[in-house]
Structure 1
Amino acid sequence: MQKIKTAVVGASGYTGMELLRLLLMHPYAELNCVTSRQYAGQALDAIFPRFAQMPGSDLQFTAPDAQTIKESGAEIAFLALPHGVAAEYASALLELGLKVIDLSADFRLNDPAVYEEFYGTPHPATELLTEAVYGMPELQGRSKEIADARLVASPGCYPTSIILPLVPLLEKGLIDPQSIVTCSMSGVSGAGKTSNTLFSYCEANESVRAYSVPKHRHLSEIEQELSIAAGEKVTMSFTPHLVPAHNGICTTTSAMLKGSPSEVTQALHEAYNSQTFVRLLGKGNAADTKNVTRTNFIDIGWAVDERTGRVLLFSSEDNLGKGAAGQAIQSFNLIAGLAPQSGLQNV
């Protein structure tokens, strides 16, 4: 099979670096263009020595320019750019005939008013919102939508860990949609490469703290997707925490149980038994980040608190993997007509 030519726009951050790693190892992807204003003119393996001697690691960074990306021969472009910036490149690349997988928040929300509320600025490309597909392949019917899409909005890391355990229960009416409370813990790489001292080693090491409360930006897409599943507007409590680890997300969600414990188990198995990257741990088992880091798996366990009448959902994933680059590669595989696990097993 001929390899699909790809580009990574904004390839110098943590997510960009993980995308590069996965694409360099992907049997059906050819990396044709990588962009970074900071590193333009320098080779991948000079900036990321871990890639030295891998085929394609001598590719040079270029400045981000839509026409240059098009001329590289790339057919699909991954955007690993900040919100507000990604939309500009998405619009230009789509006009040039490329397909786009955007890892920013620019196309995750259906309502531009919600985008402005949570991101503090008017949406930069509202005309594209109606065609953007929220790229969570495990949701019912979403794989086909992704496969047919020109523009995929790849989900955030926290939302992936929260949405996947909850959606099957909401769709079957097994929990009260207005009773959802979630606490998540993320490694420091989730903040991206930043000069903010709060995320420096001396501030983050040996410390755990909540942040971005009570209205983390990811809450917008979480409530959007849960509302679709529930068939009513969902408003929930979400508290993210920073933990002294490089990567990994551990999430605990609880909600008032309306169904039975056996129905919870059945709903999760019906939804995910056939999904390659969802591992169901079973009732009474909690998820552990050490089992998912450096993989594209999300592990889900659950329990029922008979005393309070609440169901507890436990999930873990790699925020740079299933929560970002790996999930974007899943969408790439669907668009390219490849098996879902292509380039994502044994990584």
Structure 2
Amino acid sequence: MSKKINVGIIGATGYTGSELVRILIHHPSVEIAVITADSRKGERFVDVHPQFRGIFDAPLVGIEEIDKHDLDVVFLALPHGVSMGFVKDYLDRDFKIIDLSGDFRLSSPSVYKTWYKKDHNFSEGFESAVFGLPELFRARIKKAHLVANPGCFPTSAILALAPLLKEGVVDKNHLIVDSKTGVTGAGNKAKTNTHFPVVNDNFTAYGIKTHRHTIEIQEVINSYSGEESSVLFTPHLLPVDRGILSTCYLKPTKEMTEQKLSMLFKNYYGNEPFVRLVDQVPSIKQVRGTNFADLFTTYDERTQTIITVSVIDNLVKGAAGQAVQNMNLMMGLSEDEGLTIVPIQP
């Protein structure tokens, strides 16, 4: 049996850290060598996430402990603005880094400051970081040392937009993305707007015109298509635990039919292990707990509008699962290894 890949998870207290463990403990080629949480150092993982009792009971240690381990891959499940410090200190190490924060997803420190409202202290990281959406950038990810794992909203939206922009068949200045997310997208720290009495039996739009994922969606589809575009993105908060549904509205610039639209998406995603092209409007429960992205496309002749509907689990394909998919590519493994999970429904 070949040597297992030693991984470290930096930041274990949040939902993303928990999901990374849930996936990686069943990954046949991986050993979780160290897991850190400076705020809970000295406790055990099950003290923070009791659902792992009797399954994974590792101690939580400080970041400095990673120097005691021969690591191959490190996952950063740290907040925006914190990951950049780790990357600055450790980018020259032998292990590969997969950053699940937004610190290296954008094109430059100035763009980051505009949208995240904070300074970036490691501009060199932007030069080496690869945006970790395998369906678009698989070849680059395989060679990467630092991967910027995509945001959850951008994953759902970019998959639904990219083929149309790449083929130049839609108006690049009329891209409307209407997205809904479960509450776990806001993290596990208590906030007024995610308090149960506020979220339950309610439905809210937020971040109108200013949400930081707007620029991530726009920059990535621009890079992929080679054309400048303009994205109008509006997120909404659903009273559910997890899942994202994004509905995109686009105006075709060339003659379009249902058959042409279907064939275009099949040409791009027909052989993808985690994009499922569906012929009925999908729901978030159909991908719950998995790395799948279910994608529905249709053309409305009456209004001459292309409509795409994309659903993902925000914590898996939108975070931890996609990070493991990227790890598999970076380490020369089968892309779906450890990720063949059946959705939980009902």
**Shorter-chain TM band:** over 0.9
Partner SS, residue 317 of structure 2: helix
Q: Deviations over 1:77-116 (max 9, x none)?
A: 0001111100111122222322100000011011222111
* Count, aligned residues: 339
Task: Say which of 327, 330, 334 aligns to 1:335.
Answer: 330
Q: Which moved more, 1:319-328 or 1:188-197?
A: 188-197
- Unaligned runs of 5+ residues in structure 2 are none
State the Cα distance separating 1:72 from its structure 2 match. 2.1
Which of 265, 282, 287 is equivalent to 1:268? 265
Letter matched to residue 340 of structure 1? E
Q: Report how far residue 51 of structure 1 moved.
A: 1.5
Residue 323 of structure 1: SS of its match in structure 2?
coil
Counterpart among 127, 136, 144 of residue 124 in structure 2: 127
Match status 1:5 vs 2:6: yes
| 2:28 alignment partner in structure 1 | 27
Name the CA distance, whole Å, in 2 between partners of 1:70 and 1:326: 26
Within-5 A mapping of 1:79-158: 79-139=76-136, 142-158=137-153
Whether contact under 8 Å (2:261, 2:298) holds in the other structure is no
Residue 298 in 1 paired to residue 297 in 2? no
What secondary structure, in the 3-state scheme, does the structure 1 residue paired with 2:135 have? coil
Q: Distance in 2 between matches of 1:38 and 1:269?
A: 46
Aligned mates of 1:287, 1:101 — CA distance in 2: 29
Measured after TM superposition, the shift of residue 186 of structure 1 is 0.1
User: What CA distance in whole angstroms lies between the structure 2 residues aligned with 1:289 and 1:78?
Assistant: 26
Provide TM-score, normalisation by structure 1: 0.95
Identity of aligned residues (%): 38
Query: Contact 1:186–1:319 at 8 Å: present in 2 too?
Result: yes
> What is the one-letter code of the residue matched to 1:79?
L
Cα distance, 1:47 vs. partner? Answer: 2.5
Q: CA deviation at 1:70?
A: 2.7
Counterpart in the other structure of 1:236: 231
Does the CA contact (< 8 Å) of 1:188 and 1:246 recur in 2? Answer: yes
Q: Secondary structure at the match of 2:276?
A: strand
Residue 304 of structure 1 and its aligned partner are, at CA, apart by 1.0
Partner of 1:319: 314
- Could you say which residue in structure 1 is the equivalent of 2:63? 64
Aligned residues of 1:101 and 1:152 also touching (Cα < 8 A):
yes
In the TM superposition, what is the alpha-carbon distance from 1:258 to its structure 2 partner?
Answer: 2.2
Q: 1:329 to 1:339 in 2, by over 3 A?
A: same
Root-mean-square deviation over aligned CA pairs = 1.2
Which segment drifts farther, 241-250 or 93-102?
93-102
Structure 1 residue 253 corresponds to structure 2 residue 248: yes
Q: Which amino acid aligns with 1:313?
A: T
Would the alpha carbon gap of residues 235 and 160 (structure 1) be closer, same or farther in structure 2, given more than 3 Å must change? same
- Is the CA contact 1:177–1:230 (under 8 Å) kept in the aligned structure 2? no
AA of the residue aligned to 1:105: G
SS in 2 for 1:138: helix
| TM-score normalised by length of structure 2 | 0.95
Q: Distance in 2 between matches of 1:43 and 1:336?
A: 29
Comparing 268-277 with 228-237, greater Cα deviation is found at 228-237
Q: Look up the equivalent residue of 1:85 and give its one-letter code.
A: V
Structure 1 SS opposite 2:184: helix
For the residues of structure 2 that align with 1:96 and 1:151, how far apart are their CA atoms? 11
Q: CA deviation at 1:52?
A: 2.1
- Inter-partner Cα distance in structure 1 for 2:70 and 2:52: 22
Amino acid at match of 2:58: L
Give the drift of 1:11.
Answer: 1.1
Please list every run of 5 or more consecutive structure 1 residues that lacks an aligned counterpart in the other structure.
none
| Distance in 1 separating the partners of 2:318 and 2:124 | 27
